[in-house]
Amino acid sequence: MAEKSPPNHRWSVTIDDFVRFLVAKTGDAKCPACGNGQWTILGSGETNHAYRVNTSLRDGGATKALNTFAIFCDECGYAREHLSRIVKLWVEQNPGPEQLELDDLDDLDGTDSDER
Ligand SMILES: [Zn+2]
């Protein structure tokens, strides 16, 4: 086997990672407002978050920035956000296909493999 990537190899996540996160964590979850099952993802493939919210804290601490990914319901517009840092934690534990070894990818379509 080839060397493994260190857990913190990637310091940011992408929209593609967010999509994988959504499928794994929320599956085909319906909109809590109207019950529709069709969602649109906000943000482009290049960004590592869809929103950045700056907010003060209740204890008077310094303003804190929260990065989130977001989707909205195609039927009623209900918007849902997921903190980027939670998505990032999941991605670190569930690396995407681009992080797997190439020979593993060769085995995935193995029905016509020369070696069998
Ligand atoms: Zn809805």
The helix or strand, by DSSP H or E, that contains position 79, with its residue range, turns out to be strand 79-83
Q: Is the pLDDT of residue 103 over 80?
A: no
* Lowest mean pLDDT segment, chosen from 34-38, 56-60, 108-112: 108-112
φ/ψ of residue 7, rounded to 5: -55, -35
Please state, in angstroms and rounded to a whole number, the distance separating the CA atoms of residues 13 and 11: 7
Q: What is the mean pLDDT of residues 76-101?
A: 86
Task: Express each pLDDT in 38-67 by its tens digit.
Answer: 999 987 777 677 778 888 877 877 888 888
pLDDT score, position 99: 60
Whole-model pTM over 0.85: no
Domain contains 51: yes
Domain contains 48: yes
Domain contains 100: yes
Distance 50 CA to ligand 1 centre (A): 19
Residues with a beta carbon under 5 angstroms from ion ligand 1:
31, 33-34, 36, 73, 75-76, 78
Domain contains 7: no
Distance 83 CA to ligand 1 centre (A): 20
Give the range of the structural domain holding residue 101, as residue numbers without chain letter: 15-110
pLDDT score, position 78: 97
Domain contains 89: yes
Distance 63 CA to ligand 1 centre (A): 32
What's the domain count of the chain? 1
